[in-house]
Structure 1
Amino acid sequence: MRPILATISQQALRHNLKVVRSYAPNAKVMAVVKANAYGHGLFNVAHGLSDADGFAVLGLNEAIDLREAGFAQTILLLEGVFDIRELNIATSYHVDVVVHHPQQVEMLEQASLIMPINIHLKMNTGMNRLGFVPEAFIEAFLRLKACKNVEHITFMTHFATADEAIGIAAPLAKFKLATQTLHHDQSLANSASILLHPESHAEWIRPGIMLYGATPVSVTPAKAFDLKPVMQLTSEIIS
């Protein structure tokens, strides 16, 4: 067996979560633990971040694993569901889902759920990965607002250039213009936005890479933000 060991520091996780809260003290923290917590181990990280207000994952299996392990926080499925079967499972486990595609709106309208579900409606403000353009976002919102299967709607987006000199002024203005008459909770800030753009701090923030002790800003080291590395790799000299 090779003498290679990855050690995960829950103390560093707790410290980095405190750093997050120091930058956005009035926001609820949705800790991003997708992809097995970026390879750090889902349960190790979730226990270290047990004071977070919620966890964001990609796959439904990770959401179920967290629920069955006893985590009662909000759990958000970042890619949403792919069919009505998954929608029913998410509802039964009290998992919130992102809605970013018209087919997901149709699923919610057509499903017979045991209870309404909370959703995060995603706007594409320039990332061009997932989400509705502003005009389609409003149409989707009106349909979901009238849908009996929807409980609470949170608005969200993901900034493509939060860590760059161009900043977030243009996409944030686009988001605010589209939602200015709609009074719902918002989830906007990723790690870079948390650190650099306090104007994006809303009801929810979604830190990812900074929780693990890495800087989201290429020109600024993690130490400057008081972030501590969570993973330590050790081995032995072979010869």
Structure 2
Amino acid sequence: MNNSLPYIAKDAKPAEILRAGIEAADGPVSLACSFSLEDVAIIHIAHEAGLELGVFAIDTGRLNEETYEVADALTERYRLKINWFFPRHEEVEALERAEGLFSFRESLDKRHACCAIRKVEPLSRALKGLAGWVTGMRREQSVTRGELAPIERDELNGGILKINPLINWSEDELIAYTEAHRLPKNRLYSQGYRSIGCAPCTRAVKPGEDVRAGRWWWESAENKECGLHRR
């Protein structure tokens, strides 16, 4: 396997990053889709550029109804095939019987345990056989994402490529793009949400708060990752 990464210009557009990553992967590449504004934009960018990009989603069992509505809208608009992955039900049952329904709010370790079952383990299955995966992460989103590169090698998942085409976009640029192309939008955004995950772990943000302040709002900013994007 060639360990070198393609050169990406500082001002490269998302479509250019996406194309370079897919070509460098030299194998199947899929978007990890949570049906956020970012992911919807990437699907449209890939569609417009004629890029071959798969799409998979993880249904944690605790998604909002509004999230499923976006999935349905994308399927209809792009004739999209979404590969769904789910937690192993035995592990979910064991966790909830032993710890209750809201153990993830008791400590960081318990929240990580919940995310490991509902997100990280299904992701490991979703990535099997892939040469690369695409995320909607942006540097502006949080302190945990400031060091992102456009294309990285994901050593924690077998060394496959991890492609982040929107890293340089601001939230304003993202919103302008989705509105210009009239892309499907989760109704929760109009209620003050700016980053949407599992229903019990997501709330609307308050004026002056950062984009991901509504995710695991009881935790400090440097801990606000679920394990899908360990570094």
Give the alignment's TM-score, normalised by structure 2. 0.36
User: Larger % of strand: which?
Assistant: 1
User: Larger % of helix: which?
Assistant: 2
Give the alignment's TM-score, normalised by structure 1. 0.35
